[in-house]
Structure 1
C-alpha cells in the first residue's frame, strides 16, 4: 500500500487514494492533523504528536518541534539521554503516521509519496528521503508541496490548458510555484521561496511584543526556555484569534504571577509589514522565471495555515489584482495532493493518465576561475550548468578549458545555488579529472543529468585523451543500506507510547500545562479535574475512561479556550 504524506513544520498529515478519491487518514486521536512534535516523557517513553506538543511549554528541554527547518543540517536536539538529528525526529513523526495509516487501512503500508517545500535544496531533500527510510517506508517520490496542492485542487482533471499560481505559506517555510496543465502533462514552470519564513515568524512578532511589555518583570528570566515556550503558545493562540477578530489577548502565569497583553490587529499588522514585504520577491521571481504576467494565470491558490491571516490574503490580492482561491482547506491540501500522486504512481484506474513533471529548485553548476585583464585570475566563481526552474528530468552539457600550460588535473567542485561566488552556494560534491600535459585551452565537456528523484549524474569528458569520469552526487547515507538499517533499528528500539494510551497521555499533559498557566480558583479546579480523571484511569474501564476524557477536555475548554492544532 502506498500513501501520501505532508511532512510539515507545524503539523503533518497522511492521505490515501481510495475508491476513486483522496481521503485523509485520521490519527489515533481521530484528528487529521498530527503536530510535528516529539517529546520524552519522565519515564523515558517517546511521545509523538499532540501529546508531545502539549508538553512543549511545561517540558521545553524534553520536547522538540519546528525541526523541519533544520533538515539537511548538522544541528541536533537533545532529548533524554541522546541527541537527535532533524531527520531522525522527522522519521519518528513519519513512523507515527505510518502506524496510524496501517490501523485505519487494516493493511501494511510500505511505500509513500512525501512532500517537500519547493525551495528545499539537494541536502534537505535527501534528508527527507532518509527520514522516510528510517521510518520503514520506501519513498517512491518526493513531490513539491505546491505541486501537490495543485493536484488537490483537481488540476489533473482539467481538459483545457490552464496555469495556476500556488502560494504556500506554512508554519516554517514559504514556497511559490507556477503550475501548468496541457495535453495530459502537469508541468511546473517555476518554483522559488524562502525556507526561513512562515507562521512561526509571525508568532515571533507577538512574542516580541509581550517580552517588551514585561521586560522589567522578566529580566532575570529572559533566557529561560520555559518562559519562551509559554509565550510562544499564547502567541500562536493570539495569531489565530486575529484571523477573525480585531484584537486578541495573550494571558499566562509565570512564577505564580499573572500577565496579560491585549494586541490590536492594526498593531500586529504594522509589526508584520517587513515579513509581508518578504513575500513579494519570490512571487516576482517566479513570474520572471516563467516569463508570465499575472493576467495570464487562471487562478491563485492559497495553501498553508498561515495564509488564513487577513494581512496575507490582502497582500496576495494586491499583488495579483484579484482575490485568491482558498476553497480547499489550506492545512489539508498538500496531503490530499500527495495521495493523488500516490494514486498516479499506483496507476489507479479512476485517475486518467497524467504525467507530472517538476523543476530544479536551484541552479546546479561548478566552480571556475576566470583570467582578468591584467593577467591574474579570479577564482571561486560559479558557472551554472542546469539553471533553476529547468524542467526535469533534464541533461545539459557545458564546455570548459584548462587555464595553465602543462596543467595535469582539474578539480571540479559541484555546487547548488544562485550566488556568483561558490562560497555562498551549497557544495554537494567534487571530483578530480586528469588531463594530458599541453598548452592551456584543452577542452573538457561537463554534462549534468538530473531526474525527478533528485539524483544528479555528472559526466566529464577530456576531449584530447578521451578519458571519461562519471560521478553520482549522493549523500553519505543515501543508498547505504547498512547505515540506514542500523539507524532504523536504533529508533525502533526506543520505548514508544502504547497506541491506546496516547489519548489519555495527551489529556493529562494538557491538564498539567493548564495547571501551570492559571492561578487561584482556576488552578484549584484544574487540580480537582486531573485527580478525577486519574481516578477513572485507575479503574481501567475503557468506556468510563472515554466518557471521563471527553468531560475532562470540555471542562478545560471552558477554562482555557478550545484546543488548536
Structure 2
C-alpha cells in the first residue's frame, strides 16, 4: 500500500508519489498529470470529473461546477441538474475519488494514506472541510501540508540550494506567500501570509468584464449562463494569449452574433492594478514577520499557473529586484512537494537527511474582557500563540476572574488576527469552575500547544485548586458523524463515469462545445463526425480504439483551426 501526495487545487488537481528517484506525477485516466477541478452530471446521470466536465462548462452550465475550492467550509450548496445538490466538500470528494482511482490504477495497489496540500492561509474551518472531503472520498488523511511549504519541499529536494527563499504561490483561487530558509537539509518556514479570495480566476473575471464592456453586454443579469460561461472561456484564452503577445484578438458567438475584438496587454495590466495591489500586503506581512529584508533573499520561486502572466513576473521582478526562479513547473510543484511530505511520513531512506519545519499561519488566542467593572466593558482577543510561530510550539498566559464570587471561567478559543473575537474563527470553549472569591483573586493559567499536524491542545489550570481542564482541537470534522456517514453513503451511491471511458467522454464533450459555437456546414460536419466516432468506438478495442480516438482528436484540432479564434 502506498502514500501519495495530492494538490487539491481550485483550477486543477494533481497527485504524485515519492520514489527513490524523487517525486513522480501520477497520470489520470486520459494520461495527463493535471485533472481539472470540475464536476458535472452527464445526460445519463453519471458524474463526470476532470477534462470531460470542463469541456461542458459552456454547453451545460446548469449541470457543471468549477472553482468550488473557494467555498470550502462555507456551507455553500451547488445545485446541478436532476435536483441534485452538493456541498463543496462533496464536490472536492468527487475530485479526490477520481485522483484515488487514478493512483491505484497507476501504482497497482490500494492507497494506505494521502497527504493533501491546502493554502497556507486556509483557516481551521477550511482545513477541516478538506479533511471532510477526504473522508467522504474514502481516503485516509492525517497530514495536511501548506501549499507554499510543499512547493519549497519540492524545490529544496530538487535543487539542493541553500539560503533564504520566498515562495510566491498564485493559483486559480488563492494566493499564498511563504519565506523559508534552506540549509544542510533543513527547510525551515519562517513566515507565511496570504489571501484565500485572490487568484487567477479574478484576473480571468477582470478580462471577461473588459470583453463584455467592449461588446456592450452585461455579464450578470439577462445574459444566459451558457453565454456567460462562453465569455469566461474566451477570457481565459485571451489571458493565455497575452502571456506571449502584447495584444490578443478574439471572436465569440454571443446573442446569435459573431463578435470580434482585441485586448492589449497594457490595458489589461492597467485594469488589474487593484488586484496587483492586493498581492503586496501578504508579501510585506511575510517579510516583516520573518525579520528578513529584501536584500536577505537568495531567490524567489513562482508557484501556480497564474504566475505565468507577464504582469505577475514583472511585479515580482520589480518588487524584489531580481528575476524569479522558474525552472520548477508552477502547475505541478505543489503535488510533487506533497509527495515529498508523503515520503517523509513514510520514512523513506532517501529523505533521512531532510528535515521540514513549519509555522502556525494564524494567531491563536482567547476572548478576555477589558474594563470589566465599567460601562465600557468590551471583549477583545488575547493572543496566546502569535501567527508565524514555529511549530511545534507551547505558550501560556494567566487570566483572572473579573467579578466578585465568580464561580466559572469560560475560555473561548479563537483563530485570527482581529482585535474583536467575533471577527475571528471560533474553535470552541472550555468551561472552568473556580472557587468563590473577590474579583481578581482567582487565577487560571491557559496553555496552548500547537503541533505540526494542526492539532491545538488547550490546558486550563486553576492555580488555587490545582484542577486542570484539557481539550484538543484537532483538524477534525465540520460535519458530525451522522451527517458524514449519510453523505458518504450518498456519494457512494452516485455513479461515476467509468475510467476506461474518460478519454472518449472528454473528446465527445469537446465536440459538443465545438458544435455549440459553430454554424452551417461546419456544425453539420461536427454532428456527422460525432456519430461516426460513437459507432466506431463501440466496435473497436485496444490499439484500434486508440487509433479511432487519435483520428477523432485530429479532426477536432482541424475544426478548432477554422472556427472562431477562441
Fold match (TM-score > 0.5): yes
User: Partner residue of 1:394?
Assistant: 393
Aligned-partner Cα distance in 1 for 2:14–2:42: 23
Could you tell me whether the CA contact under 8 Å between 2:5 and 2:336 is conserved in 1?
yes
Q: What are the Cα deviations for residues 115-139 of structure 1, in whole angstroms up to 9, with x where unaligned?
A: 1111111111111122122222221
Q: Per the alignment, in what secondary structure is the counterpart of residue 27 of structure 1?
A: coil
Unaligned runs of 5+ in 1: none
Change (3 A) 1:304 1:284: same
Paired residues in the alignment total 560
User: Partner residue of 2:449?
Assistant: 449
Aligned-partner Cα distance in 1 for 2:101–2:30: 13
Aligned-partner Cα distance in 1 for 2:562–2:425: 44
User: Partner residue of 2:107?
Assistant: 105
User: Partner residue of 1:188?
Assistant: 189
User: Partner residue of 2:520?
Assistant: 520
> What's the offset of the Cα at 1:349?
1.8
User: Partner residue of 1:117?
Assistant: 119
Q: Per the alignment, in what secondary structure is the counterpart of residue 136 of structure 1?
A: coil
Q: Per the alignment, in what secondary structure is the counterpart of residue 81 of structure 1?
A: coil
Could you tell me whether the CA contact under 8 Å between 1:380 and 1:423 is conserved in 2?
no
User: Partner residue of 2:246?
Assistant: 246
User: Partner residue of 1:237?
Assistant: 237
Tell whether 2:410 aligns with 1:408: no
Could you tell me whether the CA contact under 8 Å between 2:168 and 2:301 is conserved in 1?
yes
User: Partner residue of 1:422?
Assistant: 421
Q: Which shifted more, 438-447 or 351-360?
A: 351-360
> What's the offset of the Cα at 1:218?
7.9
Could you tell me whether the CA contact under 8 Å between 1:369 and 1:377 is conserved in 2?
no
Q: Per the alignment, in what secondary structure is the counterpart of residue 284 of structure 2?
A: helix
> What's the offset of the Cα at 1:481?
6.2
Aligned-partner Cα distance in 2 for 1:263–1:479: 45
User: Partner residue of 1:466?
Assistant: 466
Change (3 A) 1:190 1:259: same
Q: What are the Cα deviations for residues 298-353 of structure 1, in whole angstroms up to 9, with x where unaligned?
A: 21100100000000000000110111101011001111111111111112122233
Q: Per the alignment, in what secondary structure is the counterpart of residue 513 of structure 1?
A: helix
Could you tell me whether the CA contact under 8 Å between 2:219 and 2:228 is conserved in 1?
no
Aligned-partner Cα distance in 2 for 1:403–1:555: 77
Q: What are the Cα deviations for residues 2-59 of structure 1, in whole angstroms up to 9, with x where unaligned?
A: 0111110000001111233111111110000000011111111011111111111111
User: Partner residue of 1:289?
Assistant: 289
Q: Per the alignment, in what secondary structure is the counterpart of residue 348 of structure 2?
A: coil
> What's the offset of the Cα at 1:231?
0.9
User: Partner residue of 2:227?
Assistant: 227
Q: Per the alignment, in what secondary structure is the counterpart of residue 351 of structure 2?
A: coil
User: Partner residue of 1:18?
Assistant: 19
Q: Which shifted more, 249-258 or 1-10?
A: 249-258
> What's the offset of the Cα at 1:466?
2.4
User: Partner residue of 1:92?
Assistant: 94
TM-score norm. by structure 2 comes to 0.94
Could you tell me whether the CA contact under 8 Å between 1:365 and 1:384 is conserved in 2?
yes
Q: Per the alignment, in what secondary structure is the counterpart of residue 215 of structure 1?
A: coil
TM-score norm. by structure 1 comes to 0.94
Change (3 A) 1:6 1:444: same
Aligned-partner Cα distance in 2 for 1:479–1:393: 27
Change (3 A) 1:103 1:219: closer
Q: Per the alignment, in what secondary structure is the counterpart of residue 312 of structure 1?
A: helix
Could you tell me whether the CA contact under 8 Å between 1:256 and 1:519 is conserved in 2?
no
Could you tell me whether the CA contact under 8 Å between 1:156 and 1:186 is conserved in 2?
no
Q: Per the alignment, in what secondary structure is the counterpart of residue 526 of structure 2?
A: helix
Change (3 A) 1:547 1:323: same
User: Partner residue of 2:138?
Assistant: 136
Change (3 A) 1:385 1:472: same
Q: Which shifted more, 483-492 or 471-480?
A: 471-480
Unaligned runs of 5+ in 2: none
> What's the offset of the Cα at 1:81?
3.0
Change (3 A) 1:518 1:111: same
Q: Per the alignment, in what secondary structure is the counterpart of residue 110 of structure 1?
A: strand
Change (3 A) 1:485 1:157: farther
Could you tell me whether the CA contact under 8 Å between 2:15 and 2:25 is conserved in 1?
yes
Change (3 A) 1:227 1:196: same
Could you tell me whether the CA contact under 8 Å between 1:392 and 1:451 is conserved in 2?
yes
Q: Which shifted more, 382-391 or 513-522?
A: 513-522
Taking the TM superposition and a 5 Å limit, the aligned residue runs for 1:264-413 are 264-371=264-371, 375-413=374-412
> What's the offset of the Cα at 1:479?
10
> What's the offset of the Cα at 1:255?
4.2
2:148 to 136, 146, 149: 146
Aligned-partner Cα distance in 2 for 1:111–1:157: 27
